[in-house]
Amino acid sequence: MKKIMLVCSAGMSTSLLVTKMEKAAAQKGEEVEIFAVAEAEASKHFEEIDILLLGPQVRFLKSKLEKQLEGKNVPVRVIESIDYGMMNGEKVLETALQAL
């Protein structure tokens, strides 16, 4: 089972996106665990995730998080603003799975 972590400022705005991604995963028969955390909590989950997705509003954290995840083989991607704004769970899930 793949673990996908979404990170945003407070972990709030991404929770709706998580729900939509879970729904899309269920429809596709993908076995994934998806959860959202605030930026301050992200490092607590580094050992258990397969990919980290950043909300567009925290894209500035990408290089910092990539450095922290160095050697762990965990890709860090920024969610496209349009997909985030439209809460397109299917597209965001697809992007995450392709990166894996």
Residue 21: give its domain's CATH number: 3.40.50.2300
Q: Domain range holding 82?
A: 2-99
Instruction: Please compute the mean of the pLDDT values over residues 17-29 and round it to a whole number.
Output: 97
* Number of CB atoms found within 10 A of residue 34's CB: 25
Q: How many domains in the chain?
A: 1
> Which pLDDT band, with edges at 50, 70 and 90, does 88 fall under?
very high
Helix axes 13-28, 89-99, angle to 10 degrees: 70
User: Does residue 15 have a pLDDT over 80?
Assistant: yes
pLDDT for res 7: 96
Pairing of strands 76-78, 51-54: parallel
User: Does residue 12 have a pLDDT over 80?
Assistant: no
The catalytic residue positions are 8
State the number of CA atoms in the 13 A half-sphere of 28 facing the CB: 15
Q: Give pLDDT tens digits for 30-58.
A: 999 999 999 999 999 999 999 999 999 99
- For residues 21 and 34, is the Cβ–Cβ distance under 8 A? yes
pLDDT for res 11: 64
